Amino acid sequence: MRPLELTKTSLLYVLAAIIALFAGYPFVYMISTSFKSMNEFFTNPFSVLPGSFTLEQYTSVFDMGLNSYFLNSIIITVLSVTLVVLIAALASYPLSRLKFRLNKSIFTLFIIGMMVPIHATLIPIFVMTNDLGFYDKLLALLGPYVAFALPISVFIFTQFMSEIPAELEEAAKVDGAGHWIIFSKVIFPNIKPAISTVVIYNFVHIWNEFIFALILIQSPEKMTLPIGLQKFYGEFSVNIPGLMSALVLASVPVIITFVLAQEKIEKGLLGGSVKG
């Protein structure tokens, strides 16, 4: 390697190390603080490593109902993501593979849906949820979560499906397959990177969603994880170590998801962006 190239490479590694330090320090501090007692935290709040490790904060968060918040978040997240994948895939098939007059107009409406601000819909959604009798029920979150996840999901699926060779579809038609067989046996199995992208993207978003859960859920036993974390905020004080331990546990599903499917995320985001 030439001296100039070696210098550039070294600078890039140094820059990457600095970025990793700034990006990783908050997470390391969060984990470290979760093992501290309240007294130790107030004595030395900025120390990276705890003087003595304790699990009392982790046991206390479960005593405060964290397991219930976890279960509620898992239920609504799995249901929402499953519906988003099915509905978006079914909607994307005619938009990408069939030619009809309103094809581009309908696809444009989905794209416009990505620009709708969530906060502008809070009052109408609250009124509609209350009128339907779903207020303060976990299923009240299902509609808003699926609706706001559909535009980006349809966009990703449509781009992927449009890249599937037409010969596969024509061969299925020759064998007498209808649209449903073509979709389920030919198209859907060939968009696995897009499915992974849609699942991961919406899983992270729904898992961390706060505003709809705050507006539509009132009972503590039906709260999701982001809302349940408010219990660590007292009237005059905050249990910082307890909050940090809850955040560590809440981050585990998201971290596992990214670690297991990082390559699929990249393929899903890049797939369909270049034709030919």
Q: How high is the pLDDT of residue 276?
A: 39
The 10s digit of each residue's pLDDT in 182-208 is: 888 888 888 888 888 898 889 989 999
Distance CA 83, CA 191 (A): 17
- Exposed e or buried b for every residue in 73-91, given b needs 16+ CB within 10 A? beebbebbbebbbebbbeb
Q: Span 210-234, mean pLDDT?
A: 86
Distance CA 106, CA 95 (A): 8
Q: Yes or no: say if 201 and 152 are a contact pair by the CB < 8 Å rule.
A: yes
Q: How high is the pLDDT of residue 51?
A: 75
Q: How high is the pLDDT of residue 84?
A: 96
User: In this model, does residue 265 exceed pLDDT 70?
Assistant: no
The 10s digit of each residue's pLDDT in 53-73 is: 888 888 888 887 788 898 999
Q: How high is the pLDDT of residue 250?
A: 87
pTM of the model: 0.81
Q: Yes or no: say if 145 and 139 are a contact pair by the CB < 8 Å rule.
A: no
